[in-house]
A and B are shown apart, each in its own frame.
Chain A
Amino acid sequence: MRALLLAGVLAMFGCSSADDEPDCTTGKSQAYILTALAFTREEPRGTAPGFDLDGHVSSKPEDQSCGKIDLVDPQGAQGIDNQLAIFLPEIEKRVGNAIDGIIQGAINDGRLLIMMDLSGVDDTQNDKCVNLQVKLAQGKPMLGTDGVLEAWQTFDLRKADQKISTAQKGSFKGNTFSIGPFELHIPIAIFDVSFMIHMRNARVRFTLDQEGNAEGLLGGGISIDEIADGVQNGAGVEDIVPQIRTLGKLASDLGYSEEEGVCKLLSATLSFKARPAFVRK
């Protein structure tokens, strides 16, 4: 189950439309390395951070959301699709509540180095044409005495299983950047399992502080079947596949198939922190 969750985390980042070239070519580039990543949770009941991924407010059980009711974010925005936040405590009862620690450990030891590379940044206060590339980096990161990756490190891009993609025409408004939706896919390697995860309708939103550090949210729809199939092919972790499929049935709220009458995607949102970094040319 931990593998499932970490796979889910990794699936939030990645690549789509790799061959697309950015439209916005003026302005500076700035990369960020994710220094922290955590699942968001429902707190208080009915409230969780996230995005309205389907552009629809499900205030009551309905087929489109497979009976799931949307949440409200802490600022009061309606229609938040983040079903994983509701089920996360239940999952943690089964696998232990060290999930965020596992993720943080993977970041700190360099196994999960995710870079967000912005280009075409003219003005972080007001810029309607900023592109984003999500990449996987590699290397041994330097940690500060606070246990957090230090800012302004230089990373190499991961050579194996790297597939860089671009999300276009994001915007900055008052130091807050937002972009999406865009399709993601990302190679996953957990334990002995290696497979590709696709993610739909992904969104990114973050705010820069005075030091240039970023803090924000990532959300999108995780394909439960893809995760289950990927794990199915792995060596020695097949026993968690039934749990994955059960979780999918219980929690999925996106990608409703009228033909089958089921939702095939699970909405999820993670909070993250990131610091400025460089990509080695």
Chain B
Amino acid sequence: MTLVMKHAATVALLLIPLAACDGEKAKQPAQAVAPEPPKGPVGPPTPTASAAQRLTTAQYRNAIRDLFGPEVVVPPALEPDVALDGFDSVGSSKSTVSARGVEQYEAAAFAIGNQVIADPKLLGRVLTCKPAGVTDEACARTFTTALGRRVFRRPLTPEETTKVVTVITTSATTLGTFEKGLPFGIAALLQSPNFLYRPVFGQGEPKQHTGFELATRLSFFLWNTIPDDALLDAARDGALASYDGVKKEVDRMLASPLARDGLRNFVREWFRLGDLDRLEKDAKLFTTYSVELGPMAREETLRLFEDLVFEKNADIRDVMTTRRTFITPKLASMYQIPAPSAEGFAPVELPSDSPRRGLLGQIAILALYAHPTSSSATLRGKFVREKLLCVEIPAPPVNVNTALPEPTPDAKTLRQRVKIHLLETSCAGCHKIMDPIGLGLEQFDGIGRYRTKENAALIDPSGELDGQQFNNPGELAEAIRNHRDFGPCIARKVFQYGTGMKPTQEDNPTLKALADHFAAAGYRLKPLMAAVATSPAFRAMGAPH
């Protein structure tokens, strides 16, 4: 039976047309689109480069959850994400699927299909008709039409529908019951490039995303999952053709609990917090480190962002300086403060004299941007430059020794050792813009515990960030919060995440307009996300890079 199923699925996969996935058919970038209503849209209608993005693993899982229910277990092994320019969403525009990945998608599709069919509750969600017999083509068509619309995020063409219906009825005939044919139909849909990728063809001249393409773009940007029926209906009805129509849907989406998932995924990708699952620290040096600490610390950061954006609607730059955070008993012990609850996360205000403030006081950042055996002024400084201030740091030249000298009686602290390292002029150029920032965080060790000494020598956490002096990590956090590039960098990151493409020079006017809008809106993230989602550039479709 397995052979029959796999064969049928393969046939189905081949039958479903592979759509052009990367927008290469758009020969010329669109020049301009019709002006949007004067009040709302932010930025010029410069088309952003476009490509068919493959669903990230998180998006795949979220899509399955929303298609079939949270009970469905997605196999853990899927084609891994590849980050590009710091974002999986950007990498998904460029990456291909390996042969192994194809097998994994096939296995996952059948595993999911079989789970759905095995549970009447799950099956009832997707099979709304009662089959009259083994080969009830009408019921198979009803099933395929309804499910296919959400899987492909657009209505299936008649040809696509017929091909899936044929797979279902043929399989059902072979296996003896209507229901036994359904996993083949589900598997065919879930292996289709129209599900695994987000094909974009655009329409009009200058080219814009179609309503369904825009719905998909909005949904993955704001929810990190597939569109719901309401959004697809809006696309079907042409409501997304206007700024007002898009704005209405965007406001609805940002008010949905799913928007929290979207924000969390953005922050997760922005800071590469997924890497906390694979954090490795020397267990002998860091006896309080455990494998649970990384995911726990990530959750702390994500909860803080959620709180600032959805509960407080606050100036998001406050993430650098806030004393508020969310901690477990374990994190409380790491921060040397009383645990507010006996288990789980609870909000807490760090003491006013605490050396920790905001993002740079959190273990997620301090431990992630450090070495397995030590802190790292370079990695932490690079994090600030690249992630928070949008400065690209080139990789070190291949012939340069990047290792710092070992501690000596004359150079006990990292600051002293970095000073020696910077005597090499080939290193100094880049390190001078990273290390002084990272040295400001040296009072936190390789897993983010507070310390005042290193190798028995007092740590000096003072420094300077682009002309702004700071004496401690708290003042460094303040300097970053008020840095002129911080707000625009956030706007850039949101735009990059939303479009799935690395901004180019042509995007500068859009980025400038978004940054100005962001500032005018009090640096609140929801208005920024709305501005990006409703911007003409988000709708406009250009050629791939």
Chain B residues with Cβ under 8 A from A280's Cβ? Answer: 338-339, 342
* Chain A hits for B334, CB < 8 A: 152
Of the listed stretches A39-47, A138-146, A193-201, name the one at the interface; the rest are far from the partner chain: A138-146
Q: Which of A152-172 contact B (CB under 8 A)?
A: 152-154, 156
| Residue of B284, B329, B453 touching A154 (CB-CB under 8 A) | B329
Known contacts A145-B287, A150-B288, A153-B333: A139-B453 contact under CB 8 Å = no
**Would you list which residues of chain B between 166 and 184 have a CB under 8 Å from chain A?**
none
Is A281's CB within 8 Å of the partner chain B? yes
Q: Does A210 count as interface, using CB distance less than 8 angstroms?
A: yes
B98 to chain A, nearest CB (A): 36
For A276, the chain B residues whose CB sits under 8 A away are 336
A278 at the interface (CB under 8 A from B): yes
Asked whether, in the complex, the Cβ of A144 is within 8 Å of the Cβ of B342, the reply is no
Q: How far is the CB of A136 from chain B (nearest CB, A)?
A: 17
CB atoms of B333 and A145 under 8 A apart? no
- Report the bound CA distance from A146 to B334 in whole Å: 16
B333 lies within 8 A of A210 (CB):
no
In the complex, which residues of chain B have a beta carbon less than 8 angstroms from the beta carbon of A142? 329-330, 333
- Flag whether A151 is at the interface (Cβ < 8 A): yes
Q: Give the contacting residue for B289; candidates A145, A153, A156; CB below 8 A.
A: A145
Inter-chain contact A146/B333, CB cutoff 8 Å: no
The residues in B between 316 and 347 inclusive whose CB is less than 8 angstroms from any CB of A are 329-330, 332-339, 342
Chain A proximity of B367: nearest CB distance (Å): 15
> Is B255 among interface residues, defined by CB-CB distance under 8 A?
no
**Is B354 part of the contact surface with A, judged by Cβ < 8 Å?**
no
Given A278-B338, A278-B339, CB of A154 within 8 Å of CB of B333: yes
The answer to whether B288 and A154 touch across the interface, beta carbons within 8 angstroms, is no
Report the bound CA distance from A142 to B290 in whole Å. Answer: 11
Give A278 to B334 CA distance when docked, in angstroms.
12
Partner of B338 from A139, A146, A148, A281 at Cβ < 8 Å = A281
Q: Is B283 an interface residue (CB 8 A)?
A: yes
Q: How far is the CA of A156 from the CA of B329 in the complex (A)?
A: 12
- Given the interface pairs A151-B333, A153-B333, A154-B332, the reply to whether A144 lies near B288 with Cβ below 8 Å is yes
Kindly state the separation between the CA atoms of A280 and B342 in the bound complex, as whole angstroms: 9
User: Please, how many angstroms separate the alpha-carbon atoms of A180 and B284 in the complex?
Assistant: 37
Residues 15-56 of chain A: 1 if any B CB is under 8 Å from the residue's CB, otherwise 0? 000000000000000000000000000000000000000000
CB B199 to nearest CB in A, in angstroms, measures 49
Q: Is the interface of B mostly helix, strand, loop or mixed?
A: loop
Q: How far is the CA of A280 from the CA of B341 in the complex (A)?
A: 9
A154-B339 in contact (CB<8A): yes
Report which residue of A145, A276, A281 has the largest number of chain B beta carbons within 10 angstroms of its beta carbon: A145
**Inside 8 A of B338's CB, which chain A residues have their CB?**
154, 278, 280-281
- Closest chain-A Cβ to B413's Cβ sits at a distance in Å of 16
Q: Verify B283–A145 contact, CB threshold 8 A.
A: yes
Q: Which residues of B contact A210 (CB under 8 A)?
A: 453
Q: Are B332 and A156 in contact (CB under 8 A)?
A: no
Across the two chains, which residue of chain A brings its CB closest to B343?
A: A140
Q: Which of B289, B290, B333, B337 has the most CB of A within 10 A?
A: B333
Count of B interface residues, CB-CB < 8 Å: 19
CA distance A139 to B288 in the complex (A): 18
Which residues of B from 398 to 446 have beta carbons under 8 Å from A? none
Residue among A146, A152, A281 having the largest count of chain B Cβ atoms under 10 Å: A152
Mark each residue of chain B from 268 to 281: 1 if its CB lies under 8 Å from any CB of chain A, else 0: 00000000000000
Q: Which residues of B contact A150 (CB under 8 A)?
A: 287-288, 333
A152 touching B283 by the CB < 8 A rule? no
Chain A residue, CB-CB nearest to B452: A210
Distance A151 CA – B330 CA, assembled complex (angstroms): 10
Contact B330–A145 (Cβ < 8 Å): no
Please, which residues of chain A bring their CB within 8 A of the CB of B283?
145
Q: Which residues of A contact B330 (CB under 8 A)?
A: 142
**Complex Cα–Cα for A152 and B333 (A):** 5
Instruction: Knowing A210-B453, A281-B338, say if A152 contacts B287 (CB, 8 Å).
Output: no
- Residues in A with CB closer than 8 Å to B337 are 152, 278
Cα separation A148 to B284 with both chains bound (whole Å): 12
0/1 interface trace, chain A 53-65, chain B, CB 8 Å (1 if under): 0000000000000
With a CB–CB cut-off of 8 A, which chain B residues contact A152? 332-337
Contact with B along A269-281 (1 / 0, CB 8 A): 0000000101011
What is the CB-to-nearest-CB distance from A41 to chain B, in angstroms, rounded to a whole number? 27
Binary CB contact string for chain B from 18 to 36 against chain A (1 if under 8 A, 0 otherwise) = 0000000000000000000
Beta-carbon nearest neighbor of B451 in chain A: A211
B287: nearest chain-A partner, CB-CB: A144
Provide the bound-state CA to CA distance between A150 and B337, in Å. Answer: 13
Distance in angstroms between the alpha carbons of A57 and B450 in the assembled complex: 47
A198 to B105, CA, bound (A): 69
Give Cα A145 to B330, complex, Å: 14
Q: How far is the CA of A242 from the CA of B344 in the complex (A)?
A: 49
Q: Which residues of A contact B287 (CB under 8 A)?
A: 144-146, 148, 150
Q: Which residues on A sit within 8 Å (CB–CB) of B335?
A: 152
How far is the CB of A22 from the nearest CB of chain B, in Å?
A: 21
When C-beta atoms are compared, the residue in chain B nearest to A153 turns out to be B333
Chain A: minimal CB distance from B325 (Å):
16
* Contact, CB under 8 Å: A145 / B284: yes
B180–chain A nearest beta-carbon distance, Å: 49
CB distance from B35 to the nearest CB of A (A): 59
Chain B residues near A281 (CB-CB < 8 A) = 338
- From residue 157 to 173 of chain B, which have CB atoms closer than 8 A to chain A? none
Chain B minimum-CB-distance residue to A149: B333
Bound CA–CA A156/B289 (angstroms): 23
Q: Which one of B284, B289, B290, B342 lies within 8 Å of A139 (CB-CB)?
A: B342
Instruction: Give CA–CA (A1, B288) in the complex, Å.
Output: 35
Question: Which residue of chain B has its CB nearest to the CB of A31?
Answer: B338
Distance (Å) between the CB of A36 and the closest chain B CB? 14
Instruction: State the Cβ distance, A115 to closest chain B Cβ, in Å.
Output: 13
Q: How far is the CA of A278 from the CA of B338 in the complex (A)?
A: 6
Which residues of chain A come closer than 8 Å to B342, judged between CB atoms?
139, 156, 280
Interface string of A79-120 (1 = CB under 8 A from B): 000000000000000000000000000000000000000000
A276 to B45, CA, bound (A): 60
- What residues on A are CB-neighbors of B288 within 8 Å? 144-145, 150-151
CB distance from B311 to the nearest CB of A (A): 25
Minimum C-beta distance from B333 to chain A (A): 4
**Docked CA distance A78–B337 (Å):** 42
Give the nearest-CB partner of B286 in chain A. Answer: A145
**Shortest distance in angstroms between A142's beta carbon and chain B's nearest beta carbon?**
6
Interchain nearest-CB distance for B13 vs A (Å): 48
In the complex, which residue of chain B has the Cβ closest to the Cβ of A276?
Answer: B336
Query: What is the chain B residue whose CB lies nearest that of A148?
Result: B287
Contact with B along A205-221 (1 / 0, CB 8 A): 00000100000000000
How many Å lie between the Cα of A145 and that of B335 in the bound state?
18
Chain A neighbourhood of B290, CB < 8 A: 145
Residues of A within 8 A of B339 (CB): 153-154, 278, 280
Residues of B within 8 A of A151 (CB): 288, 333, 336
Q: Mark B281-304, 1 if CB is under 8 A from A, else 0.
A: 001101111100000000000000
The 10 closest A-B pairs by CB, nearest first: A144-B287, A154-B339, A278-B338, A145-B283, A152-B333, A146-B287, A152-B336, A145-B287, A153-B333, A154-B338
Known: A145-B289, A148-B287. 4 other contacts (CB 8 A): A150-B288, A153-B339, A154-B329, A280-B342
Q: 9 A-B pairs, CB-CB below 8 angstroms?
A: A142-B333, A145-B283, A146-B284, A148-B287, A150-B287, A151-B333, A152-B337, A278-B339, A280-B342
